[in-house]
Amino acid sequence: MDFISSVLQNLLNILFSFTGDLGLSIVYITLVVKLLLIPLSLKQRFSMVKHQNLAEKINHIKEKYKDNTIELERQLQKHSTESMKSMLGCSTLLIQMPIIYSLYNTFLNMPQNSASILIPWISSLNVSDNLFIIPCIYTLTMLAPSLISFIPYFKVSSQIAFSKQMAISTVIMSFILTAKTPVAIGLYFITSSVYSLIEDVCFRIYVKHKSKLIIN
């Protein structure tokens, strides 16, 4: 963990030497880490879609063989291995946690009195945003992936339905997470969530296009 933090700190210093702005450096280093994690991120997305599709298939099997216990058990056993594989794919997020933690720790140990042109109303990236602009932006970026699901073209049939409870939970958790934390951390969260939104949109387009090719 210390090794990863050291590498990221050195990378942040290199980026700062080029940009002269710690805010921009945070955005760039976040994007660099995200791009390096693309293989794991895509594997996780494909596994989630596969797991959701499999869950729908199992529900269909349960309904179809609800009066035939023996055949139901045989069919469920047949799909159990596939279900385990898809769930293991979703666990790739755990592999990313040490890197994310190290990145978080790197931002916490930044120099004092570091301002940025990206956030002109804040005198230092080490303090929280008393105007709560950063928490509001982060909350919107976290809600965006679910909101675009209401656009017919981006809707994936296997996705989990978005409810009011989920919306409220997302708003509360996102706001709390960034309300009292240093702006540097909020900037990291916003950059990360915007990147994830773009990746999600691209992934949805790919899934849609692939589905059309299969149908044709």
Q: Is 18 helix (H, G, I), strand (E, B) or coil?
A: helix
Confidence of residue 211 (pLDDT cuts 50, 70, 90): low
Per-residue pLDDT tens over the stretch 62-90: 777 666 677 667 766 665 655 555 554 44
Count of domains observed in the chain: 1
Per-residue pLDDT tens over the stretch 18-59: 888 888 998 998 898 888 888 888 877 777 777 677 777 777
Cα(29)–Cα(25) distance, rounded to whole angstroms?
Answer: 6
Tokens 């675009």 belong to residue: 148
Confidence of residue 216 (pLDDT cuts 50, 70, 90): very low
| Residue 28 pLDDT | 92
Q: Which of 16-20, 65-69, 90-94, 138-142 has the least mean pLDDT?
A: 90-94
More confident residue, 205 or 141: 141
| Residue 176 pLDDT | 87
Confidence of residue 163 (pLDDT cuts 50, 70, 90): low
CB atoms under 10 Å from CB of 22, counted, come to 23
pLDDT over 90 percentage in the chain:
8
More confident residue, 158 or 104: 104
Q: What is the mean pLDDT of residues 124-153?
A: 84
Residue 214 corresponds to which tokens in the numbers above?
């299969």
Residue-range definition of the domain harbouring residue 20: 2-215
Residue 135 corresponds to which tokens in the numbers above?
């928490």
Cα dist from 129 to 19, 134, 165, whole Å: 23, 7, 27
